[in-house]
Amino acid sequence: MRRFFIEQSKIASTKIFITGSDAAHIKKVLRMKSEDSIGLFDGRGFEYEAKIENLLAESIEVSITKCFLSASESPVMIIVAQALLKDKKMDSLTRQLTEIGVARLIPFTSIRSVPGPDKKRLSTRKKRWEKISIEALKQCRRGHVTKIGETITFNDVIKIDDECDLKIVFWENESKPVNGAVQQVHDRHYRKILAVLGPEGGFSKKEIEDARACGFVTASLGPRILRSETAAVAACTILQYIFGDMGLKKS
C-alpha cells in the first residue's frame, strides 16, 4: 500500500485532506480513484489505513479506517552525532540512517571538520534533512522520523548525557571492535546509545582524550579506514545487530 506523510495536526477527525505535492502525485502519477486504499503515517509512531473519498481540485479527501502504532521501531534508541560533511554526503547519510532506524541525528563541528556554514544556511539544511527523513519513511515503512538536532560543537557532543546507557566514539585509530570495547555486550540491555562519528579528517588525539574523560568508550570498525558516510552506516548496522532488531531476537 502506498504511504504518505500527514502532519499530526491535520488528523482532527476521521476525515482528512491530503494537499500539496502528495495530492498531485496521487491523482496524476498514481491515478488513484475514490474507494482506493492508502497508508498514512505521522512520523511520530502512528500509522493509518485510509480510503479515498473524493478527488478535489486542490486536495484529496480521505477517511481513516484504521489507526495503529508503528511496529517497526527498534528496541534500542540510537543517537548519532556526525561531524558535518559536505551537503550531498550529509543528505544521503540522513536517508540511510533513517532507513537503519536511527532515532536522532546531531551534526557537529570539530577541529578537522569542514568549515561550518553560517546559522541561516544551517537552519535551511536542517529543514532539508527533516524533509529527507520524512521521504525515507515512505519507502522504508518506519513510523518515526529521525529527529534532526541543531548543529553543535564536538565539546557539546561529549557533554551530552541524556541518560545514555552507552556512549561510543568510532575512532579510526582504535583496534577493539564494539564487542571488545564494551564488556559482556550480549548480557547487557542497552536501550539508549550515543554513537559519535568523525569528519573526513578524523579525530585529534585531544578530542579522543576529552571524550574518554566524559565517559565515552572508543571502538573500531575494522582495519580499513572507511569514509565518514560509510562509517556511520556500518557503525549503526553493527549497533542494531548487537543491541537492536537487525540480529537474532533476544529471548
Contact 18, 62 (CB under 8 A): yes
Identity of the residue, 190 or 203, whose beta carbon is nearer to ligand SAH in the bound complex: 203
CB of 91 to ligand SAH, least distance (A): 18
Report which residue's Cβ sits closest to ligand SAH: 198
DSSP for 187-240? GS---EEEEEE--TT---HHHHHHHHHTT-EEEB--SSPPPHHHHHHHHHHHHH
The residue type at 151:
T
CB of 103 to ligand SAH, least distance (A): 19
CB of 217 to ligand SAH, least distance (A): 12
Residues near ligand SAH (CB under 6 A): 170-172, 174, 197-198, 200-203, 220-222, 224-226, 228, 231
Alpha-carbon distance of 72 to 66, in angstroms, equals: 17
Identity of the residue, 4 or 171, whose beta carbon is nearer to ligand SAH in the bound complex: 171
Dmax over CA atoms of the chain, in Å, equals 62
Buried-state track 47-63, b at ≥16 Cβ within 10 A, e below 16:
bbebebeebeeebbbbe
Identity of the residue, 76 or 208, whose beta carbon is nearer to ligand SAH in the bound complex: 208
Identity of the residue, 73 or 200, whose beta carbon is nearer to ligand SAH in the bound complex: 200
CB of 126 to ligand SAH, least distance (A): 22
CB of 79 to ligand SAH, least distance (A): 15
Identity of the residue, 86 or 224, whose beta carbon is nearer to ligand SAH in the bound complex: 224
- At 74, list the grid cell: 527498534
